[in-house]
């Protein structure tokens, strides 16, 4: 399906507005003009979640406008989602319409797909899942060539795998990622590819070490590990830590030490405030950190972690909230200056905008 010209024009106008707001926030820091990476107008979302709404005896995919949980928007297709998700939607709908074992008390459906073509469907129920459900779901998984996860209160049934496999090519090397069901992964695959390439170029070839906070499933860790001597990466979410460990092993990357600590805890450890058993056997002082990469949540960096970053020559800051990025840059501006900037339109048709800033120590 080709996007209508007017839709593409609307996306461009909206991105221009978001970029202008971002530049206004960066004026106090004399930030250079950012490189802008737009999103495709359609089929850019690799994840989609739908409630099911029953009308005239049939269930339909439904979404709701922000702040309105009473007026469903019934869908047959969802152009923002990947082509794989759109292909699966009518096939799954046909299955639940003809198989009561699959449809009884089914209230939500979640799709997870990849640029590499893998797909997983999560079916959420208000009932226990029994052997009959397992048999029907197994047949459906074979027919659709997907993995299926069934969820009900206190119950998770996996048919196939509980993750999908993504592939990203950065600097000529192909990296494979396990992306677990229910855990965070970048929703816009093509823009994520651009983010990885930009971060790799911003880092460059280094003869020192990289400190990475909020590493998630290793999205940035894998390609950036090839550009430095060693990496110390931290993440607090258990499922993300397990996925990152598997991804490092799957890609034969052996120069990364992954520690399950929050950014705040690692700051305490580096400042000698308190010891952590999870750091047993790791000599923090043996690292030569030349660059720190941070990819914090919308709340940004806490004051202590931001203060920690001032020690290091270079900071790559990946931001999903421009206002908190600006607040953190205000704390860093007397020691660091923005050298390169980029904008990534992960979420077209929304006010959200991701950005990357390479900060270098002032001379």
The per-residue pLDDT for range 106-165, each reduced to its tens digit, is: 999 999 999 999 999 999 999 999 999 999 999 999 999 999 999 999 999 999 999 999
- For the segment 45-64, the average pLDDT, to the nearest whole number, is 92
Q: Does domain 5-41+186-361 have CATH number 3.40.50.150?
A: yes
CB atoms within 10 A of CB 287: 18
Domain limits, CATH 2.40.50.1070, in the chain: 47-164
Domain with CATH 3.40.50.150 in the chain: 5-41+186-361
In this prediction, residue 55 has a pLDDT band, given cuts at 50, 70 and 90, of: confident
CB contact at 8 A, 296 and 214 = yes
Catalytic residue among 124, 306, 320, 341: 320
Element (H, E) at 16: helix 5-26
* Mean pLDDT to the nearest integer, 66-83: 90
**Is 139 in the active site?**
no
- pTM across the whole model: 0.92
- Please check the confidence at residue 345 and state whether its pLDDT lies above 60: yes
The whole-number pLDDT of residue 1 equals 39
| Active-site annotation holder among 42, 166, 212, 354 | 354
Residue 235 near residue 241 (C-beta atoms within 8 A): yes
What CATH architecture is 47-164? Beta Barrel (2.40)
What was the pLDDT predicted at 7? 58
List C-alpha distances in Å: 165 to 51, 181, 335, 342: 25, 11, 41, 27
| In contact, 324 and 298? CB cutoff 8 Å | yes
Q: Is 306 a catalytic residue?
A: no
User: Which candidate, 339, 346, 291, 297, places its Cα nearest to that of 313?
Assistant: 291
Higher-confidence position of 5 and 76: 76
């Amino acid at each position: 399906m080709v996007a209508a010209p007017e839709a593409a024009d609307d996306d461009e106008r909206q991105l221009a507005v978001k970029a202008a707001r971002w530049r206004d926030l960066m004026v106090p820091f004399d930030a250079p003009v950012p490189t802008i990476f737009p999103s495709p107008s359609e089929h850019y979302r690799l994840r989609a979640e739908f409630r099911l709404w029953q009308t005239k005896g049939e269930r339909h995919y439904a979404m709701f406008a922000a702040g309105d949980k009473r007026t469903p928007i019934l869908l047959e297709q969802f152009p923002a989602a990947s082509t794989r998700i759109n292909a699966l939607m009518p096939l799954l709908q046909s299955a639940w319409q003809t198989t009561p074992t699959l449809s009884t008390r089914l209230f939500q459906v979640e799709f997870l797909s990849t640029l590499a073509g893998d797909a997983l469907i999560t079916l959420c129920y208000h009932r226990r899942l029994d052997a009959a459900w397992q048999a029907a779901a197994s047949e459906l998984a074979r027919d659709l060539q997907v993995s299926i996860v069934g969820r009900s209160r206190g119950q998770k049934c996996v048919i196939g795998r509980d993750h999908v496999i993504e592939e990203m090519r950065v600097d000529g090397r192909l990296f494979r990622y396990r992306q677990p069901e229910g855990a965070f992964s970048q929703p816009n695959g093509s823009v994520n590819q651009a983010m990885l390439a930009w971060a790799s170029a911003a880092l460059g070839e280094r003869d020192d070490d990289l400190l990475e906070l909020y590493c998630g499933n290793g999205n940035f860790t894998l390609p950036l590990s090839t550009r430095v001597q060693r990496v110390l990466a931290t993440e607090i979410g258990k499922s993300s830590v397990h996925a990152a460990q598997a991804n490092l092993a799957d890609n034969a990357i052996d120069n990364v030490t992954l520690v399950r600590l929050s950014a705040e805890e690692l700051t305490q450890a580096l400042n000698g405030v308190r010891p952590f058993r999870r750091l047993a056997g790791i000599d923090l002082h043996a690292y030569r950190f030349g660059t720190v990469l941070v990819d914090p949540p919308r709340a940004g960096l806490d004051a202590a972690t931001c203060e920690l970053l001032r020690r290091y020559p270079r900071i790559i800051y990946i931001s999903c909230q421009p206002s908190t990025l600006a607040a953190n840059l205000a704390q860093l501006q007397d020691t660091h200056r923005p050298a390169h900037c980029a904008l990534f339109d992960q979420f077209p048709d929304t006010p959200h905008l991701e950005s990357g800033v390479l900060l270098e120590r002032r001379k």
